[in-house]
Amino acid sequence: MMKEHLIVGLDVPSLGEAEEIVEELSDRVGFFKIGLELFAAAGPAAVEMVHRHGQRVFLDLKLHDIPNTVAGAARRIAAMGVGMMTMHAMAGTAAMGAAQAAAVAAADAAGWPAPLVLGVTVLTSLNQEDLTAQNICVPVDRQVISLAGQAKASGLGGVVCAGAEARKIKESCGSDFRTVVPGIRPAWAAGNDQKRTMTPAEAIANGADYLVVVRPILAAENRREALSKILEEMRQSFYNH
């Protein structure tokens, strides 16, 4: 079912607002994403709330630190029972390997499956001009493929990338290496601060495993209707390809 491939972001400032969204949409969503804003406001209680409603959590904190610190954080995150978590691939192979090992060990100790640890490649709010300003003078897609390869070599199960890069990552890292694509903007939605965007249909056609959608749903006058339109677009694209 297409809902298994859809992640809705709970990018709101309070636990109460997040729970309203979960209650309204949980029957049509595979994962709920908890990012920095909600986690800063509510902490682990946000994870507990989503679990209480019988739903899976994608904890998107984008860890980026030295290996020992990242491992400690990954251990605590995995102990919460989340299904997915993120860290920056730019933290390096040692940090990614440490996070993966710590997450697996913590989940094993708790008696549940280890989370899918994802390496964040290049944020979808960045484009070639932004990378050049940071003295990264290779094309965006080459930087993304390089970081994805490092993530796989470190033992991670997938990466976060733009939709345009998903197929190249699959070709380079294998079909079982997961691609999670944010920056999803249906044709009827505003782009906001995202630069490397794709429609749901385009991302599915390009090999994305999971789509992360936030503002096109949360900002909609009718959130369930917006969600239904996105799921239908995903379904048509999947069966046409």
Catalytic residues: 62
Q: At 89, list the tokens.
A: 């691939």
Query: DSSP 3-state assignment of 4?
Result: helix
Non-local (6+) Cβ contacts of 40 within 8 A are: none
CB of 34 closer than 8 Å to CB of 57: yes
Report which residue type is found at 148.
A
Residue 155 Rama label (left phi>0; alpha psi -120 to 50; beta): left
CB of 55 closer than 8 Å to CB of 32: yes
CA angle (107, 181, 132) in 5-degree steps: 110
CB of 203 closer than 8 Å to CB of 233: no
